[in-house]
Amino acid sequence: MTIRYGLYFLVMALYTAPLLGVPLMPPGFLRNWEHGAVFLLVVHEFSGFIFFGHTLFSNIWAMRIRMTADHATGVMARAMLRKMALGITGPTSILSPLAGLLLVNGWFGGFESAPWALAAYVAFWIMAAIQLVPDIIRYAVDTHAADPKRDVKTAAIRGIGSTILTFYIIWCMVTKNALFI
């Protein structure tokens, strides 16, 4: 249990660093490359698209199966969620904000010049704190693999909250506006 909390606080500290003003600038080869900004934008957008699509549809599928199917099918659904959490959610929840931070700091003047990016990152940080990091750690440790109904309702509630935050992030990115900052 202590390792889980230690991992949680370590990962959240890394996600918090940009909010505390720790600069994250793109490496020189990206800054000097005429297509560096476009490359980061493509990485950010595709990673975000994969993250959102996987999170939305796999969670709906898995929650429904885990709540209604027989035990063996529920265990299978939980095992599939574990593979997807470690193979898709984990990498894209690092890649998408990292590419976005590099893009904002390198070409938009940082959070000071792009308050919409700050609002989107704060929404992502909240999502990471309530769902992403706990779920990835939970699936990595996987102590309850044989109990498919465990935490289904709370996971569904957190998933709904994360979906709302994701729509807000998309709104911030598309409109370059922020509701709360």
DSSP sequence for 53-85: HHHHHHHHHHHHHHHHS-HHHHHHHHHHHHHHI
Residue 125 domain flag: yes
Q: What is the pLDDT of residue 146?
A: 82
Residue 138 lies in a domain: yes
Does residue 20 belong to any structural domain of this protein?
no
Average pLDDT value for residue range 156-176:
89
3-state class (DSSP) for residue 181: coil
* 61-97 confidence digits (pLDDT tens): 777 787 788 888 888 888 888 888 888 888 899 999 9
Q: Is residue 34 situated within a structural domain?
A: yes
Question: Is residue 14 in a domain?
Answer: no
| Residue 15 domain-assigned (yes or no) | no
Structure confidence at residue 16 (pLDDT): 96
**135 pLDDT more than 90:** no
Of these ranges, 51-55, 60-64, 119-123, the one predicted with the greatest mean pLDDT is 119-123
Residue 22 lies in a domain: no
Expressed as residue numbers, the domain containing 79 is: 2-8+27-175
Q: Tens digit of pLDDT for each residue in 140-153?
A: 887 777 887 787 78
Q: How crowded is residue 163: how many other Cβ atoms within 10 Å of its Cβ?
A: 17
Query: Which of 16, 5, 3, 24 minimizes the C-alpha distance to 128?
Result: 16
* Separation CA 2–CA 64 (nearest Å): 31
Kindly list the distances between the CA atom of residue 172 and the CA atoms of 28, 63, 95, 114, 145, in Å, as whole numbers in the listed order: 28, 28, 19, 10, 37
Please report which confidence band the pLDDT of residue 30 belongs to, taking 50, 70 and 90 as the band edges.
confident
User: pLDDT tens digit string along 15-24?
Assistant: 999 999 998 8
Q: Which amino acid is at 68?
A: T
**19 in a domain, yes or no?**
no
For the chain, the domain total comes to 1
